[in-house]
Homo-oligomer: A and B are copies of this chain.
């Protein structure tokens, strides 16, 4: 089984970290191919950055049309709906992956993400997925995405402090880490706080493996129907939609 994991930002160190996280949990027969676009924002922090990341994400998927499944490794699930239109293979966002997995081990989970500006997009996703009632609260640690890549960063402590508040004040029973760049922190945070801490990257790998094993395909009825054929120009324009 081959899974394409697309980090939709252009920061290669983050792609490497994501790839490592995927491989740690991948089943023996699973091949992980982790990529990122060459063009686009180096990190995705809010609605604006998302826009410029999605064409590159779609382009990466188009370059690898024979994959068994696709993972979008940005917690906003950037471009997820569009990505599902161009394939009937499973496509999973790491945000939704973590929300669904957390819902299976706890009655109510909290989310700890990077910047406050990213909170509304996450809340909208929770509402759209139907899981808003399972989420106690989305909290911002005010750690920027790329600070997670910096050696010597104090990010762990800021995130850990926010988890403590989520447990005490929001009665969170599990924690979802709200950024792909936090994938290497989950185990240590879980041990420290004594509750499940879920990283969406790892969750997404297991969910895509599961869906592929089941033979489940993305439905082509409704919103994920294959795009109608249209010719248009532009850097990211589809060669053959």
Residues of A within 8 A of B (CB): 10, 25, 27-29, 38-43, 45-52, 54-56, 58, 79, 81-82, 84-86, 90, 92, 96, 100-101, 103-108, 116-121, 124, 127-134, 144, 167, 171-174, 187, 194-196, 198, 202-203, 206-207, 209-211, 213-225, 227-228, 230, 232-238, 241
Contact = CB atoms under 8 A, between A and B. Distances in A.
Contact of A202 (B28, B100, B214): B214
Contact of A42 (B90, B127, B128, B232): B232
19 contacts: A10-B232, A25-B213, A27-B213, A28-B28, A42-B230, A45-B227, A46-B228, A47-B84, A49-B230, A52-B236, A81-B121, A101-B214, A104-B216, A106-B224, A117-B223, A119-B222, A173-B224, A202-B214, A206-B210
B47 A223 contact: yes
Contacts of A49: 227, 230
B215 A187 contact: yes
Contacts of A116: 171, 222, 225
A155 to B, nearest CB: 17
